[in-house]
Amino acid sequence: MRYKHVKAGSTEQYNTATGELTAILAAGEDTDNRVAIFDSTLPQGSGAPWHYHEIDDEIFYIISGEVEFGVEDELFTATAGDIVIAGPYVKRRFTALSDSHVLFINTPGGPAEGFMREISSFTEDNPPTDGDRQRFIDLYKIHFL
C-alpha cells in the first residue's frame, strides 16, 4: 500500500537561473511513476524555451498570473483557472507575462522531476552545454530546440 502526506513547506524545492521556485509535491517514486506534480512560482519574464518531451504529457494549471504559451504554431495567453495540455512530441514554450503561480503535472512521473533537479544547478553564467542538452535527451527524453 502506497501512502504519503506532504505537509506544506516540507517539499523538495528548487530555484532556476530565471528565478523560478519549484516545489516537487509528488514525484514518480511516490506514485509508481504514474504522475509528478510541481508547484511553481514564476517571476515575470521567466519560463522555458522551446522544447518537447518524448514520453510525458505536461499539464499546466494557472493558479494566478498570466503566462504566454507557444504550442506548435499557436501563441496564446493563459490566465488563472486555465489549463494547457501538451502531449509527447508537442513543441512548447512558456513565459510568465506577470508574476505567476502554476501547477505542473507530468505523466508519467520520473523524467520531469529528474530534469528539474538537474536544471536548477545551472546559472546564467553557467548555462547548459551541448553535452548537458544531450544528457537531458538521454536521461529525461526532453529536447530543447
The model's pLDDT over 69-108, given as tens digits with 9 standing for 90+, comes to 999 999 999 999 999 999 999 999 999 999 999 999 999 9
CA–CA dist 110, 37 (Å, integer): 10
Helices (H), the chain: 111-119, 130-140
Residue whose grid cell is 488563472: 80
Q: Cβ(89)–Cβ(78) under 8 Å?
A: no
Helix (H), strand (E) at residue 101: strand 100-107
pLDDT for the residue numbered 39: 96
Pick from 69, 48, 55, 62: nearest CA to 122: 48
pLDDT for the residue numbered 72: 97
> Is the bond into 127 cis (omega within 30 degrees of 0)?
no
